[in-house]
Chains A and B, each alone.
Chain A
Amino acid sequence: MWLAIVLTAGGCYLLKLAGLSVPIAVLERPVVQRIADLLPVALLTALIGVQVFASGSQLVVDARLAGLAAATVALLLRAPFIVVVFVAAATAAVVRLL
């Protein structure tokens, strides 16, 4: 277990450092610009999908979806980050109690 932890930590650091160290010339290419703009969008939204619907290797609809819906409403009302997170958690918790 410790070996996996150390390799994960070392690998993660090198991945981060590599991202900050790519030559500027590479970054000035429009294709790289577009891809770098779109990647966080694709990865963050995929993470949302998996966090909300995945249960192991199954897709399920449960209280998490209610939490996400509540978070969406909070964002539409321009609520600050912490409120959005709290609303999502509280909604899911309440739905589970019902």
Chain B
Amino acid sequence: MTTAPPPEPALSPNDRSAIIRDGIAVGVATGVYGLSFGAISVAAGLTVLQTCALSILAFTGATQFALVGVVASGGAPMSGMVTGLLLGTRNTLYGLRVAPLLDWRGWRRAAAAHFLIDETTAMSVNRATRAAARIGFLSTGLAVFALWNLATLAGAIAGESLGDPRIYGLDAAVAGAFLALAWPRLKSRRNQLVAVLAVALALSLVPVTAAGVPVLAAAVIALLMGLVPDSSDTDEIRADELPAAERSDGGERG
């Protein structure tokens, strides 16, 4: 993250295609997830058209799953919407993180906003230069958008004939994907502590709150831990604590 960017070396064609390949790989993985979303959404009672509209227009997986999950369990569509929007606030926070990296203005920013999701954030925050971050964001965003929507359509049409998505381990695939996305961020002690506390809090809330609330509540952990000043911390986690302008490596990903 650089607020006053130093001169950046041009991105080599090799680096460029490596980043694009990664973006496409993430898109393919998300496609598997989209297949299960399409099937689950139709099973929840949405039409194929409604299911596809969600993937095209809302385009944020956890929110979509939350909405159809509430409807599937008999909840009102509007309460599903509120749960979904609570999960959608995650993207606002991702925006805080990537805005100075990408530094897009005007219509580019308005267009980029639609692609601001877990995957594009993960694939751009770890880049050393702005050019690399932008390519990471765009290649991942376009690949995920294309494959997420194609897979949603395929999953919705296959619908119940696909049977239980758990037979294919698709539910575990979702967890595996989230773990792979979080992995590069789990190197410092501080982040590991946040992760443990976040999981503990979320799981303790699962039995007593509506779907979606446990994950959102975990944000409180980040807020509280973020308020703790750095002075007592060791060098080990300095890379996470440097002010934006000083951080040049951006190396969260291994």
Interface size class of B (residues with CB under 8 A): 35 or more
- Residue pair A46, B28 in contact (C-beta under 8 Å): no
- Least Cβ–Cβ distance between B94 and chain A, in angstroms: 6
Is B203 an interface residue when CB atoms closer than 8 A count as contact?
yes
- Residue pair B171, A93 in contact (C-beta under 8 Å): no
- A72 to B219 Cα, complex, angstroms: 23
- Residue picked from A2, A52, A78, A96, most chain B C-beta under 10 Å: A52
- A86 to B85 Cα, complex, angstroms: 29
Instruction: Note all chain B residues with C-beta closer than 8 A to A78.
Output: 254
Instruction: Note all chain B residues with C-beta closer than 8 A to A12.
Output: 58-60, 63, 84-85, 88, 91
- Residue pair B199, A45 in contact (C-beta under 8 Å): yes
Interface code A51-72, partner B: CB below 8 Å = 1, 0 otherwise?
1111011110001101110111
- Least Cβ–Cβ distance between B208 and chain A, in angstroms: 8
Known interface pairs A2-B50, A46-B214; A54-B206 also in contact (CB < 8 Å):
yes
- Residue pair B176, A67 in contact (C-beta under 8 Å): yes
Is A22 an interface residue when CB atoms closer than 8 A count as contact?
yes
- Least Cβ–Cβ distance between A6 and chain B, in angstroms: 8
Which of A31, A49, A85, A92 contacts B226, CB < 8 Å? A31
Chain A interfacial positions (CB closer than 8 Å to B): 1-9, 11-13, 15-22, 24, 27-28, 30-54, 56-59, 63-64, 66-68, 70-72, 75, 78, 80-82, 84-94, 96
A-B contact pairs, 26 of them (CB 8 A): A1-B77, A3-B77, A4-B67, A8-B58, A8-B80, A8-B84, A8-B85, A11-B81, A13-B57, A13-B114, A16-B88, A19-B92, A19-B99, A27-B244, A39-B97, A39-B219, A40-B93, A42-B218, A42-B221, A47-B62, A48-B199, A52-B172, A54-B214, A71-B179, A72-B179, A84-B180
Chain B interfacial positions (CB closer than 8 Å to A): 3, 22, 25-26, 28-29, 32, 46, 50, 53-54, 57-60, 62-63, 67, 71, 73, 77-78, 80-81, 84-85, 88-100, 102, 104, 109-110, 112-114, 116, 118, 121-122, 166-183, 185-186, 190-191, 194-199, 201-203, 206-208, 214-219, 221-223, 225-227, 230, 240-241, 243-245, 254
